[in-house]
Amino acid sequence: MRTLVLLLVLVLGSVVGVDGATAQAPGPHPRLFLDASTRAAWKAQQKQKGSAVAAAIGVCRGIDKDDGNHTHAGYMGLEWARYLQACLVAWAATDDDGDARRAIKFHTALIDDLDRLGDRKGGDTAANRDSGFAIRALGVYTAISYDWLHDHPAMTPALRARTQQRWAAWTTWYLANGYRARSPSTNYHAGYLAAVTFIAIAQRGEAGAAGDALWSLVADELWGKDMAKAMAPGGVLDGGDWGEGWQYGPLSVVEYAAAARAMTAQGVQVEGVRAWLDALLARTIHAQTPGGGIFAGGDTQIETPNLPPNSNTYDAVLVGDASPSHQAWAASERAALPAGGDFPLWSALAQARGARPTPPPRATWPTSYLASGTGAFFARSGWDKQAIWFASQCHSTIDVDHSHPNAGNFVLARGGDDVIVDPTPYGSLATLTSNAPTVVSAHLPPDYLPSQAWWSERTGYAWARQTASGIVATRCDYADQYKFQHRASDVPMAMRDVVVVPWGDHDATAIVIDRAASGDRARGLHLRFRTPGQLAAQGKAAVATVGKSQVRIQTLTASGGTPAAERQPAGSCFEDKWTRGNCAAARFTVDQWRLVVPGPTMTAIHAIDAVGKGAALPAIAARTSGDVTVVSGPSFAVVVGGGDALSYVGPRGARHVVVDGPTADEVTVAAAAEGDGCKVTVGVGGAGTAIAGRPRVFAVDAACAIALDAAAPAMAPDEGADAGPGPGGAVDGGAGGGGDAANPGLAPPRSARSGCCGADAAPGAPLAMTGVVLAVWFALGKRGRRRRCAR
């Protein structure tokens, strides 16, 4: 106990946060969640078929008939934690003393045992396993059972004292030795934060100086500083995404949501929670493909392009203090998923909120969304099941686990068909496993090559936006991805533009423009685009069928290299043939269109068409005149290159997207007939249509008249919420156009600059293993790998 006090004093010093100091005095038990309204709701739901409460009662009382299966702890005690949750809910709903005693049985197992009931091999060091992962099961749920059953005869003074002893040992050890105790948006942190929050509340006023010190740490430091920063605008949680990806996000976000609600109930104001929870739901809905999968955004082992929806994500919005409208929408999304599951307490608490399921008003929502904290951008042509859907990633290094060095990565779906996919296998530290571009660096360690690295600070979007007509445009500046520790990047320019143009009924073309400079012919630009279909090469193009769609990938122009269609069987980056940087494995079999463009200055333009199976593929052409290239397709033109006096001839009756041109923020655009097309001039001042922001998107009609294609509306703040659900429109930066005599028409802009910036340095410590997922990732050895932790 003295150790705990000393450790916390060293950490906290003389700092006393305002929130912790002004929190209300601890009240009687129960203090965590079990108020009169929750209990009344559960009593009403106990016999309701399909309810989480009915499911929990079935799990708890099924213990007597399960032939001893409940005697096994499961991984790190999670199975006992599941039984403990179920019995707590059952007791609260029915007042059955047998349920309470079953709960105390598992409470005792979690504080005393390790693998089997009664083995007495647990105790003070039980939470130390797997760099502290076990505290997620042991600490979280024993705190709740201690609180709810505090005055039950079976929760004896001796058992309460022994529980406090365990907590003191576990929390002291974790703060000093546990993994990522002060790193929000990591799954270890979420488990630890939930544990210490619930423990601090449950024992407050009952554990002496050690308990007081733990409360101060939780209120003033973990919530008052760490989580407040993470949830603030620009923080890692801004926009509702999870940096480690959504194999790890669902349980973590429900733990954050519940812990924040518990602190609020104690009178501690937790800033930013409602805005975060509302954004969490908005991100989840936008990240869902028309086929129903959720974009993973990080490590996963599932052998499909996307993840199935997870009930914990919606339970987080319902359990936490989200705005009423978002809770109603979350209840509607949650209703399609099974009740209970591995964490029946959260499902039951979610249902107790009594939110009336109301379908989210998708038809009135913007069709694009940016999660600022992670640089994940989502856009779609509509909310119907046949829509075109696009997701991209571009952000400086985020100090979390399970993320990949893949700035510029994107995926594309046509309705239920994922035509361009990210098949990155679990534990990849390479860029080549995704669709992101990469340049060979001269100063990264050999085993990192040719991938992007982990120390960037300025990588980000110059823009990420959608227009009123549905055109999507992003520019990712990733030159800083080759920063190595304290050394500046040795790649002076690296940039990817993606323009997605929906056309026809449910078809689209993505124009991908890659430009980079390395200064060395041997340091080339590596490009690949991956699809689950089998590519049939046709010269500089290849076509594949994916479900009810077909996808064509073609190299329109490149400064060098020969593209090729290749099969990539399912595999793993743990195989000896790969280093950390050259792994090109896939977690499921894909075909890829691969091109390596030699340096010193590299350019390439690709077109990716997604159309119906058996439909005629569109005519796509790239025409270069001087320093300008015009890519023409079905009723659109994408214009690349050009300086401050940009002019080109483009098609009539089409939407035009000018990605370069004058560096000024506002330009004027004019057009006049020239042959079958229109000569378009983009300049500063003079007569014409004024357009602000980048890129310049406008329509040119049959008479060569110009009409602005304005930015699509952003997500409006929710009425009654303290903030809106996150940005829904665009990031707009500036990046200049320019020319390069050596590469006319595909020249890199003269003054490219990044948009989002400001992340911490790259992760450096080896990560801890868990057995929840069976991936193995070693930090040692010639390949320079890091171990990767699991859920």
Q: Would you say residue 274 has pLDDT above 90?
A: yes
Q: What is the pLDDT of residue 200?
A: 98
- Torsion angle, alpha carbons of 137, 143, 148, 150, to 10: 130
* Sign of the CA dihedral with 175 first, then 178, 182, and 187 last: negative
pLDDT at position 67: 77
The full DSSP string for 58-112 is: HHHHGGGGSTTGGGB--GGGHHHHHHHHHHHHHHHHH--HHHHHHHHHHHHHHHH
How many angstroms separate the CA atoms of 180 and 755, rounded?
A: 28
Residue 16 has pLDDT above 80, yes or no: no
What is the residue-wise DSSP string for 659-726?
Answer: -SS-SSSEEEEEEEEETTEEEEEEESSSSSEEEESSSEEEEE-TT--EEE-PBPPPPPPPTTSSS-SS
Write down the pLDDT at residue 22: 57
Interatomic CA distance for residues 485 and 456, integer angstroms: 9
Q: How far apart are alpha carbons 32 and 263 in whole angstroms?
A: 9
Give ∠ CA 333-339-343 in degrees, rounded to 5: 110
Question: Which residue from 360, 402, 406, 405 is spatially nearest to 383, judged by alpha carbons?
Answer: 360
CA 527 vs. chain centroid, Å, equals 23
DSSP three-state, residue 466: strand
**What is the pLDDT, as a whole number, of residue 357?**
97
Q: How far out from the chain centre does Cα 125 lie?
A: 33
601-612 sheet: strands from edge to edge: 536-538, 541-546, 549-558, 601-612, 507-517, 493-503, 472-477, 460-466, 731-732
Q: What is the pLDDT of residues 184-205, one digit of tens each?
A: 999 999 999 999 999 999 999 9
Q: How far is CA 442 from CA 445, 456, 491, in A?
A: 8, 16, 9
**Rounded to 5 degrees, what are φ and ψ at 241?**
-90, 170
Give me the mean pLDDT over the 110-121 stretch: 97
pLDDT at 769 over 80: no
Distances (CA, A) of 168 to 97, 114, 171, 210, 407: 29, 18, 5, 8, 42
Long-range contacts of 485-493 (CB under 8 A, 24+ apart): 485/455, 485/761, 485/762, 487/443, 489/441, 489/456, 490/441, 490/442, 490/443, 491/439, 491/441, 491/516, 491/517, 491/518, 492/517, 492/519, 493/517, 493/748, 493/752
Six token digits for residue 787: 């171990």
C-alpha pair distances (Å), 492 with each of 3, 62, 495, 520: 52, 64, 10, 12
Chain centre distance of CA 429: 17
Q: Give helix 187-203 / helix 135-148 axis angle, nearest 10°.
A: 20
pLDDT tens across 627-684, in order?
999 999 999 999 999 999 899 999 999 999 999 999 999 999 999 999 999 999 999 9
Cα–Cα separations (whole angstroms), residue 628 to 444, 475, 639, 646, 649 = 34, 18, 7, 8, 10
| Contact in structure between 179 and 768 (CB atoms under 8 Å) | yes
Average pLDDT over the chain, rounded to whole?
89
pLDDT confidence of residue 14:
30
Residue 61, both tokens: 């009382």
- Print burial letters for 331-361: b (CB count within 10 Å at least 16), e (below 16): bbbbeebebbbebbbbbbbbbbbebeeeebe
State the Cα torsion 513-459-560-419 to the nearest 10°.
Answer: -50
**Type of residue at 569:** P
Q: What angle do CA 306, 310, 314 make, to 5 degrees?
A: 125
Predicted confidence band at 69 (pLDDT cuts at 50, 70, 90)? confident
CB-based contacts of 711, cutoff 8 Å, min separation 6: 465, 466, 467, 468, 693, 729, 730
CB atoms within 10 A of CB 647: 17
Q: pTM of the full predicted structure? A: 0.90
Instruction: Count CB atoms within 10 A of the CB of residue 292.
Output: 12
pLDDT at 7 over 80: no
How many residues appear in the chain? 791
- Indicate the helix (H) or strand (E) that contains 276: helix 273-286
Give the pLDDT of residue 655: 98
What pLDDT, in 10s, does the model give residues 490-549? Answer: 999 999 999 999 999 999 999 999 999 999 999 999 999 999 999 999 999 999 999 999
141 pLDDT band, cuts 50/70/90, is very high
CA 707 → CA 634, 689, 698, distances in Å? 18, 7, 6
- Chain centroid to CA 716: how far? 22
| pLDDT, tens digit, 9 for 90 and up, residues 701-752 | 999 999 999 998 866 544 333 333 334 445 654 333 333 322 333 433 333 2
Supply the Cα-derived Rg of the chain in whole angstroms: 28
The tens digit of pLDDT for each residue in 366-376 reads 999 999 999 99
Q: Cα(309)–Cα(769) distance, rounded to whole angstroms? A: 25
The confidence score (pLDDT) of residue 755 equals 26
- State the residue for tokens 């076990």: 134
The pLDDT of residue 724: 36
Q: What pLDDT is recorded for position 730?
A: 57
Peptide bond just before 308 cis, omega within 30 deg: no
Average pLDDT on 383-406 reads 97
